Chain A
């Protein structure tokens, strides 16, 4: 089942990457990044079945960092929305030269 898990994880990662590139809504892009993190977690779990428990410990850390990232990222999105009244990345171009 290891090879199937790795292939599934690669497919999910690809779908997440395509989502990041095709969407303009900041929250949707953020959720696509979460999907990519989940795909990597599946790789860790699948490998941990062959290699040892360290993979599952890494999944634990990835989930913690993902939770912290979601909290800070969504706070940033709320702060940006207060200024610009939008979360569409086409309209948030203050740093564009």
Chain B
């Protein structure tokens, strides 16, 4: 049952996520932007934990905030893009106008949806077990569907990763000068 303590932390991390993502989008320096994005990722991990998705929260910190953001930071420093560019990074009048209009449209949609409740057939699915986390633990409750219903997708994921590894190595390789 959500209590006062729970709600305070939910709104705290939600507002922190919004604030840090706005800071992330508006920073001129890419390095500062990456660090603000890491703050957003940590806030989302806290929200996942509050939503009882403990395994996803840990994965969020390890994979997103840990691995992916370090790769971004590494590339920014490898290409020496740490300082703001001489050409303005943020687009001119038309780009901002289009972005503002899109933002207003999306926000209006959110407000329109907020007035209504969720559609009524939104009932728990067939595989829903409210005691799964208690019975199987945080990891077991995710592993149960992952290795039963979604086993084929899980195996195909390994092919995606293999293709990504080969692609990254081929693209990142420096071609030999005497080859041509």
Binding site for B on A (CB under 8 A): 1-8, 10-19, 21-25, 27-28, 30-32, 34-35, 38, 41-42, 45-46, 48-54, 56-57, 59-61, 63-72, 74-79, 81-82, 87-88, 90-91
Whole-angstrom distance between the Cβ of B148 and the nearest chain A Cβ: 10
Alpha-carbon separation in the docked complex, A70 to B75 (Å): 11
Other-chain contact of B171, A50, A67, A76 (Cβ < 8 Å): A76
A47 to chain B, nearest CB (A): 9
Knowing A15-B21, A15-B22, A38-B44, the reply to whether A27 touches B76 (Cβ < 8 A) is yes
Contact, CB under 8 Å: A31 / B64: no
B contact patch SS: helix
| Whole-angstrom distance between the Cβ of B69 and the nearest chain A Cβ | 8
Q: Which of B126-151 contact A (CB under 8 A)?
A: 126-129, 132, 141-142, 144-146, 149-150
Knowing that A15-B22, A77-B75 are A-B contacts, what are 8 other residue pairs whose CB atoms are under 8 Å apart, sorted by A's residue number? A1-B51, A22-B25, A27-B76, A41-B56, A65-B157, A67-B68, A75-B172, A81-B79
CB <8 Å contact, B106 and A54: no
Using known A-B contacts A18-B103, A59-B56, A60-B142, determine if residue A25 contacts B89 with beta carbons closer than 8 Å.
yes
Which residues of B are in contact with A by a Cβ distance under 8 Å? 2, 7, 10-11, 14, 17-18, 21-22, 24-25, 30, 33-34, 37, 40-41, 44, 47-48, 50-53, 55-56, 59-60, 63-64, 67-68, 71-72, 75-76, 78-79, 81, 85, 87-91, 95-96, 98-100, 102-103, 106-107, 109-110, 113-114, 117-118, 122, 124-129, 132, 141-142, 144-146, 149-150, 153, 157, 160-161, 163-165, 167-169, 171-172, 174
- A38 near B40 with CB under 8 A, answer yes
> Which B residues are in CB contact (< 8 Å) with A34?
37, 64, 68
